[in-house]
Amino acid sequence: MRPVELSDLNAQLGIPKHVAFVLGPGGLPTAEVQNDHATATISMYGGQVLAYQPHGTAPVLWASKHSYYQPGKAIRGGIPVCWPWFGPHPTDSELPAHGFVRTSQWAISGTRAAADGATEVRLELSDAEQTRALWPHSFHLELIVVVGPVLSVELVVRNTGEQQLTYTGALHSYFTVSDITNIAIDGLDGVQYIDQLQPGPRFIQKGAIAISSETDRIYLDTAGTCVIEDAGLGRRISIGKAGSRSTVVWNPWVAKAQRMRDFGDEEYREMVCIETTNAADDRVTVPEGGTSRLQATIAVELDA
């Protein structure tokens, strides 16, 4: 984006003591939010929240020091929006993993300072020739990000075409943890899951999740809140959701981290993904003219 456009954005949509538009990592245009509750960074490339940090605690979201920040590549961290398919394309392995909106340039559609001191930033993306070449549907997406004592990220999908559309997707949140071997993830006890590393049978989660090896699971038919218990950072991160009946838990561990060019060899220790998804059987069909929503609500509670 040319600097003149950034200055236009600031003139039209910047809000003193809330949000300014700057060149962020890799020179990508970002919304920098700073208010009485928290700071946050939102990239227009990918429509991606990159950072969220309530005052008085460590960063909540994680991003790799080895991430690409360049058009054509996904950003490794924050909350990538995976859409309109989750994971590999179901029938065409040539198409990009996790869809194309995480590598699309979004526009800012609005900003607002809320009465409680929170800041709202809205981004939008519609179909274009390049998206229709990958996926033959008309759509309008809006990502509504509210940065306050809690972070809310809501993807609103509007079907602007003349036929129904069906999608899968995710708010693929990466969280900062003190040490992957020293956290517990609550909220999925008794839930059935697909282990993407052991295709075949389905498994049932017993108790809290402890991670001690590569983990890549799709928890099924679950709408509940997950909680990351992190004694090392003295906090609990809760991830509530709406419009989602599946949750993905992912950590690449040693060998996969080494294979990924945009992921440091040791970085698997300091992150975990708890993804608010529409994955596997959890497909969403939107009728012509209809709307659907996928929302993650992320809150931090500090130990007393």
Rounded Cα gap, residues 135 and 131, in angstroms: 6
Catalytic center residues:
172, 275
When binding is defined by CB under 6 A, the residue of 36, 55, 90, 97 that contacts ligand BG6 is 97
Nearest CA to 202 out of 175, 182, 220, 178 is that of 220
250 interacts with ligand BG6 by CB under 6 A: yes
282 interacts with ligand BG6 by CB under 6 A: no
Minimum gap (Å) between residue 115 Cβ and ligand BG6: 36
Rounded Cα gap, residues 276 and 247, in angstroms: 5
Q: Which of residues 165-224 bind ligand BG6 (CB under 6 A)?
A: 172, 196, 216
Nearer to ligand BG6, 32 or 195 (CB): 195
248 interacts with ligand BG6 by CB under 6 A: yes
Number of chain residues interacting with ligand BG6 (CB under 6 A): 10
258 interacts with ligand BG6 by CB under 6 A: no
Rounded Cα gap, residues 34 and 31, in angstroms: 10
User: What's the CA dihedral at 237, 243, 245, 246 to 10 degrees?
Assistant: -50
Structure tokens at 42: 């939102």
61 interacts with ligand BG6 by CB under 6 A: no
Minimum gap (Å) between residue 46 Cβ and ligand BG6: 11
Beta carbons of 176 and 53 less than 8 angstroms apart = no
Minimum gap (Å) between residue 87 Cβ and ligand BG6: 6
Nearer to ligand BG6, 138 or 196 (CB): 196
Nearer to ligand BG6, 78 or 148 (CB): 78
Nearer to ligand BG6, 88 or 232 (CB): 88
Nearest CA to 157 out of 175, 145, 172, 169 is that of 169
230 interacts with ligand BG6 by CB under 6 A: no
Give the binding site for ligand BG6 (CB under 6 A): 74, 87, 97-98, 172, 196, 216, 248, 250, 275
